C-alpha cells in the first residue's frame, strides 16, 4: 500500500503532508501550529506512531495544496516522524479528507483534488 505524501502550505509555511485514510483525526507539528487558534478539550488518549499521546487541545489550521485552500482541525504534536527520509509536518486524516472531498487513488498512489477544485462558496 502506498503512502501519499505531498508538499502543502500550513498556516503560510511549507510542510510535508501524509494523507492517511486510516486515521480519523489530523495531527500537526507544534511548530506549524504555534500561531493557530486553539481550544482546550477534555483530555483523551490516542495511539500515534507506536506511542500513546494525551490530547488536551486542538487547533484550526489553514492549508493550501496546489493553490486550493482548506481548513483542518488538528491535534498539535511534538513529533510525527519521517517517511522516506522526509519529516512529516502534518497528517491529514479521513475526516478532513471527507469534508473537503479529497480522495485517494491507491492504484496511482496519488490524491484526487477534483472535489476540492469544484468547491464554490456562495454567500447570500
- Residue from 58, 67, 45, 51 nearest 113 by CA: 67
Domains of the chain: 4-117 (2.40.70.10)
Look at residue 117 in the predicted model and tell me its pLDDT.
85
Residue 106 has pLDDT above 90, yes or no: no
Residue 36 has pLDDT above 80, yes or no: yes
Torsion angle of the four alpha carbons 113, 18, 110, 66, in this order, in degrees rounded to the nearest 10: 40
pTM of the model: 0.90
Residue 96 near residue 72 (C-beta atoms within 8 A): yes
Residue 124 has pLDDT above 70, yes or no: no
Please compute the mean of the pLDDT values over residues 86-97 and round it to a whole number: 96
- Residue from 94, 39, 100 nearest 64 by CA: 100
Residue 33 near residue 76 (C-beta atoms within 8 A): yes
- Assign 15 a pLDDT band (cuts: 50, 70, 90): very high
- Residue from 26, 111, 17, 9 nearest 60 by CA: 26
- Residue from 101, 98, 124 nearest 112 by CA: 101
Amino acid at each position: 500500500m502506498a503512502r501519499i505524501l505531498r508538499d502543502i502550505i500550513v498556516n503560510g509555511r511549507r510542510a510535508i503532508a501524509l494523507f492517511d485514510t486510516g486515521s480519523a483525526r489530523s495531527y500537526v507539528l507544534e511548530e506549524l501550529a504555534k500561531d493557530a487558534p486553539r481550544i482546550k478539550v477534555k483530555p483523551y488518549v490516542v495511539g500515534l506512531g507506536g506511542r500513546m499521546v494525551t490530547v488536551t487541545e486542538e487547533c484550526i489550521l489553514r492549508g493550501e495544496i496546489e493553490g486550493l485552500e482548506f481548513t483542518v482541525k488538528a491535534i498539535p504534536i511534538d513529533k510525527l516522524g519521517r517517511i522516506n527520509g522526509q519529516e512529516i509536518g502534518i497528517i491529514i486524516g479521513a475526516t478532513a479528507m471527507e469534508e473537503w472531498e479529497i480522495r485517494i487513488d491507491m492504484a496511482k498512489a496519488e490524491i484526487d483534488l477534483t472535489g476540492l477544485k469544484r468547491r464554490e462558496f456562495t454567500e447570500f
